[in-house]
Structures are given as structure tokens and as C-alpha cells.
């Protein structure tokens, strides 16, 4: 029996296009570094997703790239050619067979790509400005033709996702990758139509949204979700402020998207600058656009109590990431009134039981502070 307190987490949700979710809990997109060398999805990766797709209503995959110079991670799977459609189909089918909706996260890493993963080691971005981290390469500024090419590639990734049987795509405009680089005054110092004022810095993100939506209307035979993920602020000066983000979400809310996904490490985090408001970023965003487009929150939610409190902000959808790596049975436990059995720490002996691929397990165990790991 579900504890009454947690019933809101298990309520169904229907998107504006009619796609229905069984509950409000979604597997957040997380890089797992575990694909094959040729860019296809590996067996270990499929097993990892299968283990986590039974219970949540929707799975947002790790990001995939559609342009050769957009590969942001070792062991990232590809969607840069039609040859990759069978690999993508295998992943979509595995997730959907467990009862969850499958959403492919599409991206370009921009200046965050490791040089060894991109052609000729040449990293690209909106402008020739390096990220503020040790040893970060200075990227080459993209030409107008290249920018148009990347926009086109997002449409092609969307078509491949449709052909592979995914239920939707999530445009990855967060976490300092290329789409965010165009929106940020730190990484975008251009003076053409792609940069300058905050409105001009919106040109690239909005062009990608339009291209993706066009691909959906052209190729999808049935309802297909389009979401957009963004990071509300940057620590750098100049950098994206909360005021900039409110302009971004206003513009996105006009685009008839199915959801906006706020990328946060901590759900209740407060703004750094740009608004005079002591509430959390998620509450400010929900108040601004929640009546126009569903908002999805995320960030350090581990227990059923934390998840229930998060939904009380009024957001309809909650993505959970690290906690579903730690306890893939989270949703089932809440459903069955066993929320006190939810596990919130990892033991170093858990890899096999939790079906975690080797490269991801190594990252989990060896990145201090990322996961609560017990010996």
C-alpha cells in the first residue's frame, strides 16, 4: 500500500500532445562513459538502463552527439549517421519494454569536448574563449556555415530518434555545453546575428528548437516529446544570471515545448545574482512559466520525503539521477509503502547487484563527493 503522503509522486501526468506518464518520477540524463568504441550502445549500457526503467515513468538517456566535433565524453554513444539508428533502436526498445517512455538527449559539447575525441583535436565554440578551468583549450570560433550545419544536425538527430522508436528528444542546453555556450556572455563574444545582446545570444538555442520541432512535424507519425534542459546560472563573470534565464524561459515557453528541465545539482539552490528574490531558482522559474509549459526539477533528491517536498513547489515532474543509480527500485519501494527501505548510500561491493558498467562504476567510486560511498 502506498503511503498517502507519497501519492502525488505516483499520479499519472499527460503532456499537451497526449503522451501519458504513469507517474511523476523520471530517470535523469546521466553520462555513463560505457558505449562501444564505434559509437554504438554497449550491452553493459543496455543492461544498466533496463535495470532502471521499470518503475520510473520516463527515462532520459545520456547525451548523444550528432556532429563529429560535438563528442563530449569517452564512451559516449553516437547519433551522427543513419548507421547508428539500429544502435539507438536497441536502446529505445530496451527502455520501452520495461514500461517507461524513452527520451533521447541530444547535444554538442562545444568547448567542453576533450580534444582527443574530436577531428584534428580542434575544439569549437561560439567564440575563441576557453572555459575557466585548468588546461582548458581555446576553442576555434565557429563560422556561420558551421553553425547552420550544427543546427541541421540537431534536426537529423531528431529524425533518427523518431526512426529508432524513441518517444521524444531532450535538447541539452545545459551544463556548459555548446547551446549554453551560445547563450552565455562568457563564451559568446560574437558581434554578428549569433551574439551580442541577450536576445541575440538566444538566436542559436531558439534556432535549434525550431529545427527539432520541424523534424518532428515532418517525420513523426505519432505524438513525440520535445523537452529543453538548461542551467539557470553560471558562476563566471560575465556569465548567465537569473535575469538572463528568465528571458530564456519566457522565449522557450512561447515555443510549445512539452517540458523545460532545470539542471541543478541541488533542487533547493538559490539564485546568485540577477533577481531580488530569496526563493529557490526552481520556484522562481515555476512561477514565471509553469502555467505555460511543464517544469521538471532535479538535484540531490534521495528520499521519498525529499521528493514529496519537491513536488509541493508546484512543479509537475521530478527527475532523479544519482539516487536511481544507488537504488534502482526506488519507485517500486514508494509504491509498495516500503519507502523506509530506500537505500541512499553505495557500498564498494554493489556494482554487480546494481548493474553498473565498469567505466561508470570507476567514475562513481573515484570521484570524491559525487556519490555517498561507504567502504
CA distances (Å), origin 167, targets 97, 218, 220, 258: 13, 15, 10, 12
Distance CA 159, CA 182 (A): 24
Distance CA 147, CA 126 (A): 9
The percent of the chain in helix, strand and coil, each rounded to the nearest 5, is 40, 15, 45
Closest alpha carbon to 35 in 64, 56, 1, 58: 64
Closest alpha carbon to 26 in 63, 64, 55: 55
Residue 65: active-site member: no
Distance CA 294, CA 257 (A): 9
Encode burial over 248-273: b for 16+ CB neighbours within 10 A, e otherwise: bbebbbebebbbbbbbbeebbbebee
Please count the other Cβ atoms lying within 10 Å of the Cβ belonging to residue 213: 18
Angle at the Cα of 105 (from 88 to 310), degrees rounded to 5? 135
Helices 242-253, 203-219: inter-axial angle, 10-degree rounding: 30
Task: Determine how β-strand 225-230 pairs with β-strand 140-141.
Answer: unpaired
- The alpha carbon of residue 329 and the mean position of all alpha carbons in its chain are separated, in whole angstroms, by 21
Give the H or E element holding residue 65. Answer: strand 58-65
For 20, the 3-state DSSP assignment is strand
Give the active site residue among 6, 65, 177, 259.
Answer: 177
For the chain, state the CA radius of gyration: 20
| Positions marked active-site | 177
Amino acid at each position: 500500500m502506498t503511503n498517502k503522503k507519497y501519492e502525488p509522486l505516483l499520479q499519472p501526468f499527460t503532456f499537451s500532445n497526449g503522451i501519458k506518464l504513469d507517474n511523476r518520477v523520471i530517470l535523469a540524463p546521466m553520462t555513463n562513459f560505457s558505449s562501444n568504441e564505434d559509437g554504438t550502445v554497449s550491452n553493459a549500457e543496455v543492461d544498466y538502463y533496463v535495470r532502471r526503467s521499470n518503475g520510473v515513468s520516463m527515462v532520459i538517456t545520456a547525451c548523444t552527439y550528432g556532429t563529429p566535433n560535438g563528442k563530449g565524453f569517452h564512451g559516449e554513444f553516437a547519433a551522427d549517421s543513419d548507421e547508428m539508428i539500429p544502435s539507438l533502436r536497441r536502446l529505445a526498445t530496451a527502455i520501452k519494454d520495461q514500461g517507461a517512455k524513452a527520451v533521447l538527449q541530444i547535444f554538442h559539447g562545444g568547448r567542453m569536448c576533450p580534444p582527443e575525441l574530436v577531428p584534428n583535436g580542434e575544439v569549437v565554440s561560439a567564440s575563441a574563449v576557453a572555459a575557466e578551468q585548468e588546461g582548458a583549450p581555446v576553442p576555434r570560433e565557429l563560422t556561420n556555415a558551421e553553425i547552420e550545419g550544427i543546427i541541421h544536425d540537431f534536426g537529423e538527430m531528431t529524425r533518427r530518434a523518431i526512426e529508432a522508436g524513441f518517444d521524444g528528444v531532450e535538447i541539452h542546453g545545459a551544463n556548459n555545453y555548446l547551446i549554453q555556450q551560445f547563450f552565455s556572455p562568457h563564451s559568446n563574444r560574437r558581434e554578428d546575428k549569433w551574439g551580442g545582446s541577450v536576445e541575440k545570444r538566444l538566436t542559436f538555442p531558439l534556432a535549434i528548437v525550431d529545427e527539432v520541432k520541424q523534424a518532428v512535424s515532418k517525420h513523426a507519425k505519432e505524438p513525440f516529446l520535445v523537452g529543453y534542459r538548461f542551467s539557470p546560472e553560471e558562476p563566471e563573470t560575465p556569465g548567465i544570471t537569473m535575469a538572463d534565464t528568465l528571458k530564456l524561459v519566457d522565449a522557450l515557453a512561447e515555443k510549445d515545448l512539452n517540458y523545460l528541465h532545470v539542471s541543478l545539482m541541488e533542487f533547493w539552490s538559490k539564485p546568485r545574482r540577477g533577481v531580488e528574490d530569496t526563493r529557490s531558482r526552481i520556484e522562481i522559474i515555476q512561477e514565471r512559466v509553469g502555467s505555460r509549459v511543464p517544469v521538471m526539477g532535479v538535484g540531490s533528491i534521495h528520499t521519498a520525503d525529499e521528493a514529496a517536498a519537491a513536488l509541493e513547489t508546484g512543479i509537475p515532474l521530478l527527475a532523479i539521477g544519482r539516487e536511481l543509480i544507488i537504488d534502482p527500485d526506488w519507485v517500486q519501494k514508494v509504491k509498495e509503502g516500503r519507502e523506509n527501505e530506500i537505500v541512499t548510500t553505495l557500498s564498494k561491493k554493489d556494482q554487480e547487484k546494481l548493474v553498473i558498467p565498469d567505466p561508470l562504476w570507476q567514475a562513481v567510486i573515484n570521484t570524491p563527493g559525487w556519490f555517498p560511498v561507504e567502504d
